[in-house]
Amino acid sequence: MGLFTKFVYLLGVRKKEVNVLVVGLNNSGKSTVVNHFKNEEERVSEIVPTVGFSVERFQNQNLAFTAFDMSGHGRYRDLWEHYYKDCHGIIFVVDSSDRLRLVVVKEELDLLLQHPDICNRKLPILFFANKMDCKDALSSVKIAAGLGLDKIMDKPWHIAASNALTGEGLQEGVEWLTQQIRDVILSKN
């Protein structure tokens, strides 16, 4: 990228397309999170369990996001890895009220981090500790500890407590992700 294009890009004249992968267990609120990022008029009122995956597009700070909203159901989880190669960032949604399945989340996160398409890349991972409004929800700190996030050394990560129904905490998280992706892209060029 030449100096001029870089300048144009920084000015925000040309949008950069990035792919993000939205993963997490079933019923953790992935589709609801993605739904909230969309424009007001495109939003759907009722979220149903995703089958396979769905592709959604939204923008944030001159970055055009293509979100691959993966199904979190056990039998569709092996689809995730096919999208690892082409993604620039990962949004990992965790149901913070589901204490029972925190081990499953950890297991899936470990599988994700050990995947050859992921383990050698400096891929930013954004965690949403979703459903923070539930009364028996775990705090984001507890979830970070439970998932062993402090052991992730080679990748930038961030955890944000969220409530996808109201949109609380989502913007903060996605801004962090945008910043990270932008840094990575700029450093590459």
Partner 1 sequence: MCAHQCYQRLSSNTLKFATLPNNACINLCDLNISRWLEAHSDRSAGLTTFARNVILADVSGDGDYKLVLTDVRIQTDKRSRLKVYKGTLLTSDQVLPDVPSSVISFYTDDLEPRVPAVAVACSSDLLIFKNNKPFYKFCVPPGPLTPLEEECWKLFAEPNYDTQKLITDLKSVNFNQLSGRSQELLNLQPNQAQEYIQRYVGITPIKTSPIVCMSTLNRSSQDALAVACPVLGTEDGIIYVLDPQIFTVLHQANVCNVKSTPTIIKTTGMYDVEFRIVVACRENSICVLRRGWLEGKPVVQLNEDIIDLLLIPGDNFIIIGTTSKMLHCYTKRGQRVWSAATVNAITCLCLVPLKHLSTHLIAVGLKGGSVHLYHGRQTVDYTNSPDTPSAMVFGQLGQEEHVMVIITMGGTINFKILKRTADFNLSNQDKLSVPTLQSKPLPLPKRSKLFIEQSMRERQDPMQMHQSFQQDLVNLRLTAARALVQNLTEQSGAGNAEEQVKLSAQILGLGPKFTLILTLENMNGDKAVSNFSVVFHAKPTIYKLSSYLSTVPLIPPGLSYKLETKVTEVLKSGEEQLPGQAIRVFVIRKGQAHPVLAATINMPPTEITTLLFIFSQKFKSACEKMRAFSKRPPDSDILEVYSFYKQATLGDINIPKPSDIQGRAKWEAWNGKKGLAADLAKQKYIEKVQGLSGTYA
Binding residues for GTP: 24-31, 72, 130-133
Q: Do residues 148 and 15 lie in contact, with contact meaning Cβ atoms separated by under 8 Å?
A: no
Q: Which is nearer to partner 1, 24 or 173 (CB)?
A: 24
Phi/psi for 90 (5° steps) reads: -125, 135
Tell me the window of 39-47, 50-58, 102-110, 155-163 that interacts with partner 1 (CB under 8 A): 102-110
* Shortest CB 25 distance to partner 1, Å: 7
* Shortest CB 99 distance to partner 1, Å: 6
115's CB contacts (< 8 A; 6+ apart) are: 81, 84
Q: How many residues does the chain have?
A: 189
Q: Name which position in 2, 136, 151, 153 contacts partner 1 (CB under 8 A).
A: 136
Q: Name which position in 101, 115, 142, 155 contacts partner 1 (CB under 8 A).
A: 101
Q: Name which position in 14, 15, 43, 99 contacts partner 1 (CB under 8 A).
A: 99
Nearest-CA neighbor of 23 among 97, 89, 98? Answer: 89
Query: What is the sign of the dihedral through the CA atoms of 135, 138, 141 and 142?
Result: positive
Residue 52 class from Cβ within 10 Å (0-12 exposed, 13-18 middle, 19+ buried)? exposed
Q: Which is nearer to partner 1, 11 or 48 (CB)?
A: 48
Tell me the window of 24-32, 80-88, 147-155, 160-168 that interacts with partner 1 (CB under 8 A): 24-32
Known binding-site residue numbers for Mg(2+): 31, 50
Nearest-CA neighbor of 23 among 76, 85, 62? Answer: 76
Q: Tell me the per-residue interface mask from 140 to 179 with partner 1, x by CB under 8 A, - otherwise.
A: ----------------------------------------
Q: Check residue 168 and report its DSSP letter.
A: B
Q: Do residues 113 and 125 lie in contact, with contact meaning Cβ atoms separated by under 8 Å?
A: no
Instruction: Examine residue 139 and tell whether it contacts partner 1 (CB under 8 A).
Output: no
Residues that bind partner 1 (CB under 8 A): 25-27, 74-75, 77-78, 95, 98-104, 107-108, 111, 136
